[in-house]
Amino acid sequence: MTGRTHDLAGFTVLHYVLLAGSVPQMSIATAIGAIGANMIGSLAPDIDQPTGELWNKIPAGSILGRLITPILGSHRMISHSLVGIVITGYLLRWLLAILSHTIIVDMSVIWWTFMIGFVSHITFDTFTKEGVTLFFPIPIKIGFPPLAFFRIQTGGIVEKTILYPLLMLSNGYLVYANYTAYLPLLQKITHQ
């Protein structure tokens, strides 16, 4: 999947989780940070690729990408696995604990939204022809459906003309079908 599709997929999953679950009371800063964390999380598994979308969004990203990606192995290995999810979750929790002393937002919300984006990235990559090494270090690529012939080509016509528009429509439908839920949700976010 392309970075743009991963961003929208991560947001769509976050949108579903938001409407299905109990939203904690939070500040506007936390809500904005949560959306940003979700978008970063949606791109983060591709840090194993020096040309990944996330590297293009940070200063000196191409240099950092070339330094870090050899440590992670080839594309869609450890960062696209269950081991990668666990390691990322622990490292992020540690980093957010350090940042919580200087940034005043609810770091547990930031952690959850980042991880929702991260896991959605890996999940959506299972639908591509390349699949993912979900059970790294076992070098077997997992994909759905099991036959790669039926899976989506990254950046291909199906992704651009069917999947991306479906994700857009899903978000539109969620707003339309749940518009009465948004006012209390916004009140919950803005009242501290």
- 31 falls within a domain: yes
Residue 45 within a domain: yes
Position 191 in a domain: no
Non-local (6+) Cβ contacts of 104 within 8 A are: 27, 29
- Classify residue 60 by burial, with Cβ atoms within 10 Å: 0-12, 13-18, 19+: exposed
Residue range 42-91, pLDDT digits in tens:
998 988 776 667 767 777 666 676 667 666 666 677 788 999 999 999 99
Report residue 146 as tokens.
């099991």
Is residue 118 situated within a structural domain? yes
CB-count exposure of residue 22 (10 Å: 0-12, 13-18, 19+)? exposed
What is the three-state SS of the chain? CCHHHHHHHHHHHHHHHHHHCCCCCCCHHHHHHHHHHHHHHHHHHHHHCCCCHHHHCCCCHHHHHHHHHHHHCCCCCHHHCHHHHHHHHHHHHHHHHHHCCCCCCCHHHHHHHHHHHHHHHHHHHCCECCCECCCCCCCCCECCCCCHHHCECCCCHHHHHHHHHHHHHHHHHHHHHCHHHHHHHHHHHHCC
Q: Is residue 177 part of a domain?
A: yes
| Assigned token pair, 95 | 């980093």
- What is residue 159's predicted lDDT score, i.e. its pLDDT? 92
Is 192 within a domain? no
> Domain of 89?
3-186
Do residues 24 and 109 make contact, with C-beta atoms less than 8 angstroms apart? yes
- 84 lies in some domain: yes
pLDDT given for residue 112 in this prediction = 95
Q: What is the pLDDT along the chain (192 residues), one digit of tens a residue?
A: 888 999 999 999 999 998 887 777 778 888 899 999 999 999 989 887 766 677 677 776 666 766 676 666 666 777 889 999 999 999 999 999 999 888 889 899 999 999 999 999 999 999 999 889 899 888 888 998 888 889 898 889 999 999 999 999 999 999 888 877 777 767 766 665
In the chain, the number of structural domains is 1
* Cβ–Cβ under 8 Å, residues 85 and 12: no
